[in-house]
Amino acid sequence: NKLQEIADLSQKIDASRYPEKIAGRMLRQQILDAQTQITQAVNSYGDYKPIVAELAKMAGAREAQKYLILFQNDNELRPTGGFLTAYSIVRIDKGTVVPEKSGDIYDLDQKFRKNIAIPEELGKYLTTERYWHLRDMNIYPDFKKSMETFYEYYQTVPGEPDDIDGIIAVDTQVLTWLLEVIGPVQIPGYGTFSAEIDQRCDCPQVVYALSEIITRPTNFIKEDRKGVLGPLMSAILSKTYELDKSKFPELFAVATNSLKARHLQLYFVEENSQTAAEKIDAAGRLYELPNNFKDWQFGQNQDFLAIVNANLGGAKSNLFINHEIKLSVDAPQDGFLNNSLEITYRNSAEADNCNLEAGLLCLNATLNDWIRLYLPPNAELIEIQGLEEEAEVYEEEGLTVIDGFFKLEPLGLARIRMTYRVPYQDQENYNLRLWKQGGIDPVPVIIEVTGGEEELLMNQDLDYSTIFY
């Protein structure tokens, strides 16, 4: 109520009555900006209120909560943000984090007794696999749907807890950002981990060090390779709790940026907690965004694009891959937009020696990429170039999906070009939502609408609006 009172009072200020500049300062614009920010703060409070009410419960204030933490290796990109490489069980009791167990995802799969046929798309390139394993179950870009699938089967694994309250997925970017704030951490038996750039990969030291421990082949059995992740996450959490309060704003920025960019994603078993996470877009939803598809007038005035890539058998090559997007849009004719999409992928590094006998660290190899392009309902594919085979077109949760595969070699370039039609009625205004996949770096985007061009950077979901010139 107090916030709303302040907002109402601020709106009574007539900025036009004040000089545009005073003492070299843009006074009028500052007043307008302040009014906008106050209004946004009120709106944001309404959005965050549900999760604020749930925070005490999530932090174990009333009773202890148990979470399954999944580590997604974004250098081996998968639909929700990375290959599920390791896990940890933590209990949060009155704000205190108590690690219970951690391990390699392969440990879970060894105990997983279900023989489920591997989905055709995965089996195409994961040729050594006959069955669908837990480690490959984040097949859907919608985090909730993937975790519902994963958790259903996780519950059948002997010896695993049956009282999990939620699943928290993190990737290497979250670890890096946290280490930038708290400084290096030392793990007995594994060494020191930091956010400093390692020249061997031109990447954060923590990324290279984890790859060395987990991935490099050896001529001896290396016990519990991925057991480092549990102690590492515990050490980071412990050091975080010991931080001076002056660092709290930086930690808050890490949390909010990680959630917005989907480097950190949340799934809760209990409905109220899940609803709260979805309300602030912390749940990695594709099918049910905060501005729900059902609320949008598809076929009237809303375009949509989600590009989802999955690395199937391409080592950790996403560490060296970046891509850019160009979308060209013509004014609607006969109730349809005519769109041209170009996605360019580049691998900036030489191939590693991935021969097991060499015993070297294999990070960069040929990428086998399973790509899915999510478009508005009733979109129509006209032509697509750059895929290994003919694209499949189908509907998924109300969206049109263009599905295919392409390859990208080290030091190589791959380009996907597609033309398609989208139902659209508004002759004056163009509105687009670009959905960002978890686990990827910010993506340069060029949007050209009837000759007018803008350059953007997609580091979270983007809502873009302009007029047809």
Poorest-confidence range of 52-66, 184-198, 242-256, 423-437? 52-66
For residue 285, tell me if it sits in a domain: no
Poorest-confidence range of 124-128, 137-141, 256-260, 388-392? 124-128
Distance of alpha carbon 300 from alpha carbon 336, whole angstroms: 9
Q: What is the mean pLDDT of the chain?
A: 88
**Domain containing residue 32:** 2-55
Residues in contact with 400: Cβ distance below 8 Å, sequence separation at least 6, in sequence order = 374, 375, 376, 377, 378, 379, 380, 393, 394
Poorest-confidence range of 51-60, 127-136, 251-260? 51-60
Q: Give the end of a domain, one of 225, 246, 279.
A: 279
pLDDT surpasses 50 at 299: no
Interval 104-113 mean pLDDT:
90
Q: Examine the domain organization and report whether 259 and 230 are in the same domain.
A: yes
Q: In what order do the strands lie in the sheet with 462-467?
A: 392-396, 399-408, 367-375, 303-311, 429-435, 462-467
For residue 291, tell me if it sits in a domain: no
pLDDT digits (tens, 9 = 90+) for 407-453: 999 999 999 999 999 999 999 999 999 999 999 999 999 999 998 89
pLDDT surpasses 80 at 293: no
Residue 347 phi/psi, 5-degree rounding, is: -110, 120
pLDDT digits (tens, 9 = 90+) for 323-382: 999 999 999 999 999 999 999 999 999 998 888 777 788 899 999 999 999 999 999 999
Distance of alpha carbon 254 from alpha carbon 256, whole angstroms: 6
Into how many domains does the chain fold?
3
Residue with more model confidence, 283 or 214: 283
pLDDT surpasses 90 at 402: yes
434 bridge partner residues: 305, 462
Poorest-confidence range of 214-223, 239-248, 352-361? 214-223
Q: Examine the domain organization and report whether 108 and 90 are in the same domain.
A: yes
Reported confidence tier of residue 37, pLDDT bands at 50, 70, 90: confident
Q: What is the per-residue pLDDT for 222?
A: 46
Reported confidence tier of residue 224, pLDDT bands at 50, 70, 90: low
Q: What is the per-residue pLDDT for 291?
A: 47
| Range picked from 1-5, 207-211, 258-262 for highest mean pLDDT | 258-262
Reported confidence tier of residue 178, pLDDT bands at 50, 70, 90: very high
For residue 305, tell me if it sits in a domain: yes
Q: What is the per-residue pLDDT for 39?
A: 76
Q: Examine the domain organization and report whether 33 and 95 are in the same domain.
A: no
The percent of residues in the chain predicted with pLDDT above 70, rounded, is 91
Q: Examine the domain organization and report whether 75 and 186 are in the same domain.
A: yes
Q: Give the end of a domain, one of 18, 37, 55.
A: 55
pLDDT surpasses 90 at 458: yes
Reported confidence tier of residue 290, pLDDT bands at 50, 70, 90: very low
Dig out the tokens for 264 from the structure: 């950190």
Q: Give the end of a domain, one of 279, 309, 337.
A: 279
Reported confidence tier of residue 72, pLDDT bands at 50, 70, 90: very high
Q: Examine the domain organization and report whether 149 and 271 are in the same domain.
A: yes
Q: What is the per-residue pLDDT for 226?
A: 56
Residue 204 near residue 196 (C-beta atoms within 8 A) = yes
Q: What is the per-residue pLDDT for 326?
A: 98
Reported confidence tier of residue 201, pLDDT bands at 50, 70, 90: confident
Q: Examine the domain organization and report whether 461 and 432 are in the same domain.
A: yes
Residue 434 phi/psi, 5-degree rounding, is: -100, 120
Q: Examine the domain organization and report whether 83 and 224 are in the same domain.
A: yes
For residue 290, tell me if it sits in a domain: no
Q: What is the per-residue pLDDT for 213?
A: 80
Q: Examine the domain organization and report whether 131 and 231 are in the same domain.
A: yes
CATH number for the domain harbouring residue 388 = 2.60.40
Q: Examine the domain organization and report whether 313 and 453 are in the same domain.
A: yes
For residue 171, tell me if it sits in a domain: yes
CATH number for the domain harbouring residue 143 = 3.40.630
For residue 127, tell me if it sits in a domain: yes
Poorest-confidence range of 187-201, 279-293, 364-378, 383-397? 279-293
E strand or H helix that includes residue 145: helix 143-154
For residue 195, tell me if it sits in a domain: yes
Q: Examine the domain organization and report whether 29 and 80 are in the same domain.
A: no
For residue 289, tell me if it sits in a domain: no
Q: Examine the domain organization and report whether 116 and 219 are in the same domain.
A: yes
Q: Examine the domain organization and report whether 236 and 339 are in the same domain.
A: no
